Structure 1
Amino acid sequence: MRIPGRPAVLLASVAALAVLVPLGGCTVQPADAGGGRGLPVRVQVPGSRTPAPAGHAPAPAPAPARTAPGAAQPPRVLWARGDSGAGVRELQARLRQVDWLADGPTGSYDDLTEQAVRGFQGRRGLPPTGATDTVTWQRLVAMTRPPGTWELYRMGGQPAAAPDPRCLTGRVLCVSKTSRTLRWMIDGRTLSVLAVRFGSQYSPTREGVFRIYWKSRHHVSTLYDSPMPYAMFFSGGQAVHYSYDFAARGYAGGSHGCVNVRDETAIARIFAQARVGDKVVVSW
């Protein structure tokens, strides 16, 4: 229908505006069904606080967004404080490679390991939880190389080698230079396994079959003036004994020919059980 005195262009513009308004994201409030003819049309932008016209209930607030079923989940935790095992040992060895851990590896996820992981995460913009998740582990692996046997067991704890056949009878301190371990065995049964270290190139630990000929609980070396607690002498001045230096520095040091033990509790228990005359086998 044509309105007298109004150009057709104006009607076309109004029609275009009516089409464009919904496309702009706004909503047009409908006219009152009770014959509210002549009420102004209100355009309300979603989220605005413009009050609704009298007699109209306010539009309900939008529902909070929900996480889609396929949304990304937090990375899976591989190891955390209190865990232990070969994986933790490798983690500690790799943290040593990038200078975030000074001690170990011990194979136990202790407070020092947790602090090292937290520092590594924080420096790389990862959540500093102190727990090793898959993202942290992947980042660490990309920055390091697979650790060798010495790196993994520099503080001891390596698996023991198979016992020498000469250790399978009687009461024996069975020492392996290959795995750097000592087995306390009775009649072929292993009662405990300890990490040990040996003498240096110029004072090597002798190999062969020996017997414990003297036990000295609070022994002090007369040659080197160094303590040798729980000493069990088997060849001249060479003995199996606890070493404070081994406990502190691991395989970074060495003995003057003795078989050093770093676990004081374990060697104290063996010292109480072993007898003078028991066999000592030192082999590769």
Structure 2
Amino acid sequence: MSELLRIENITQYFASNRKLFSKGYVLKAVDGVSLSLAKGETLGLVGESGCGKSTLGRTILKLLEPSSGKIWFEGQDITSLSRKQMQPLRKEMQIVFQDPLESLNARHSIGMIIQEPFDIHNIGTKEERKQWVKELLVKVGLPEECVNRYPHEFSGGQRQRIGIARAIALKPKLLICDESVSALDVSVQAQIINLLIKLQQELELAIIFISHDLSVVRHISDRVAVMNKGKIVETGDTLTIYNHPQDEYTKVLLSAIPITHPSQRKKKRSTLPC
């Protein structure tokens, strides 16, 4: 598979007003991360809350400008592109956020929300856009009749389907899922994961799946990158990472996965030092 995305030594630092030993404090949310992603591949990005996963995802999309480092998309260096220069590329890279209720405009109907990408990029006629919206609703498992309803009228899983429909409207090549199933019930999580796998096959999507739930990441990912305190501590194909982890932090994360059968539970779990 050919390379779609490559980042080298990406950092994202934030200055804090909080004083530490009478000096300004700098938060290193992302600290020298390098990764690559092939076309049609799913990379699981895992780590505990606050390790910098979501910040890295937003930095890759240049929703946050990197403090340093390089980002290449399809061989093009996009690191220094302005907001205006990035706009044509927005069709190629999209994100699905964790909380669909906050990411969907409560004052807009579902039809307006999903149609917005076509409006922004001036694609198709008015009638074509309406038809495409209905097709997208069906593609993500919702009836086209709900086009005039509003976000608050849907369940959490249905709202996430709407967010996915909006994200894939322009047939992007890269989709970043930022904790996109963590707020859902387990049964609904499975439905959304299966939907993403189906859409990936249909649209040849490359996905960066950000999550702290290692059992979910194992199901969807081709490769896994483990993140701790802003750094990538281990990468590899999914089976290798889960069956033969090398880094101590990875071992601790894996030991925290709940084991349902009593006979398979470990007597002692690893813990990280405080």
TM-score, scaled to structure 2 = 0.23
Select the structure that is richer in strand.
2
TM-score, scaled to structure 1 = 0.22
Select the structure that is richer in helix.
2
Higher Rg? 1
